[in-house]
Amino acid sequence: MPTLPDFRLETYFSRWEFAARYHLTASDAQTMTLTELLALADDDGRERWETLSLGYTETYGLPALREAIAATHTGVAPEDVLCFAGAEEGLYLAMRTLLEPGDHVVVVTPNYQAAETIPLSICEVTGVALRPEDGWALDVDELERQLRPNTRLVSVNFPNNPTGAVPDRETWTRLVRLCEDRGVLLFSDEVYRGLEAGPALPQAADLSPAALSLNVMSKAYGLPGLRIGWIACRDREILSRLERAKHYTSICNSAPAEVLALIAVRARQRILDRNRAIIADNLPRFDAFFARFPDLFDWAPPRGGCVCFPRYLGADGVEAMCTELVEQCGVLLLPASIYGSRLTPTPPDRFRIGVGRHAPDEALAVWASWLESRR
């Protein structure tokens, strides 16, 4: 396999994520303690936790967990769910298993880097950029123009990281139908589903047997320490191929993590309600911050998820602003270069900010004081 490039986001985080005092670009919702999560357990979940045996687990995942995940869908059975050690393993194995050198892939940008670098290590890839001038809208007409006779897969992520974009239901349904009609697999990264400002879109795997829906405990649930993700797909031959590929990576998931994930999925509504409430409480704080500096920022809140991609208008440029801010004040943001793409231009004046963690006030105050001192 060709060597993959450095993962820019993870390389940047390895330097700053735990060294910076204020993590103002977090991509996950506010997490909870083990005690808080266990307090949400039903009787079955509590008994599973207290009597847990630390042996190997089933490669497909704990049956009760797969059943709980399937219950979050409208057209998916437990047999249509395969669990992974996080979303990245599912993404990686799907691309490595389903793609061949003669294939072509269309990837929506900006994106989580692995969504394009893994396919690029295998076959030809074309990018279709979300339109910042139109609220990061998805242009399905442009995506259709990029399809080829050998297009094997279209990869999308909604709610989008880093922009917070969510297409309207008509656009989403049209995309799903387009892929199905053209015999193209739709790989749909749905890790922020449940944190929308409005109604959630239907999950791709519910709408089409030619779609794979990727999800994880990390983002909307705010439980990245569990390292549990999954793919739902009604094509069981695809799932069987992915299961066999998993034999070469994690083999099976952590038994404690699966039971804790089961508790979380069963308590899904309470957890997502809590996390949406945190975001709703935070957004006026961010509105007020950016309103203080209209000459420096062009800001709009996310339509879904807990990250968005504001514009920085300062003469020093976003890269310098982000670097000096974290070095001098310990406030961590992600500059546009982290989301650079080989497929389409990335607006160079953007940065990712997270709005899903408790109490951003001190970080915003430090940032504001720093900006004032530079006027």
pLDDT digits (tens, 9 = 90+) for 355-373: 999 999 999 999 999 999 9
* Cα separation, 165 vs 144, whole angstroms: 20
The domain locations on the chain are 8-33+270-373, 34-266
Residue range 280-332, pLDDT digits in tens:
999 999 999 999 999 999 999 999 999 999 999 999 999 999 999 999 999 99
Q: Where does 8-33+270-373 sit in CATH, by number?
A: 3.90.1150.10
Assign 252 a pLDDT band (cuts: 50, 70, 90): very high
Assign 186 a pLDDT band (cuts: 50, 70, 90): very high
Residue 27 has pLDDT above 80, yes or no: yes
Instruction: Give me the pLDDT at residue 222, please.
Output: 98
Domain 34-266 has CATH 3.40.640.10: yes
Residue 1 has pLDDT above 80, yes or no: no
Residue 277 has pLDDT above 60, yes or no: yes
Is the pLDDT higher at 2 or at 155? 155
Instruction: Give me the pLDDT at residue 2, please.
Output: 62
Q: Is the pTM of this model over 0.95?
A: yes
Assign 3 a pLDDT band (cuts: 50, 70, 90): confident
Of the candidates 173, 127, 132, the one whose C-alpha atom is nearest the C-alpha of residue 154 is: 127
As a whole number, mean pLDDT of residues 156-160 equals 98
Assign 161 a pLDDT band (cuts: 50, 70, 90): very high
Cβ partners under 8 Å of residue 187, min gap 6: 91, 94, 95, 153, 154, 155, 156, 211, 212, 214
As a whole number, mean pLDDT of residues 152-175 equals 98
Contact 49, 198 (CB under 8 A): no
pLDDT above 70 covers a percentage of the chain that reads 99
Instruction: Give me the pLDDT at residue 334, please.
Output: 98
Contact 212, 189 (CB under 8 A): no
Is the pLDDT higher at 374 or at 56? 56
pLDDT above 90 covers a percentage of the chain that reads 98
* Cα separation, 139 vs 156, whole angstroms: 12
* Cα separation, 29 vs 53, whole angstroms: 30
Assign 375 a pLDDT band (cuts: 50, 70, 90): confident
Contact 87, 216 (CB under 8 A): yes
* Cα separation, 46 vs 197, whole angstroms: 32
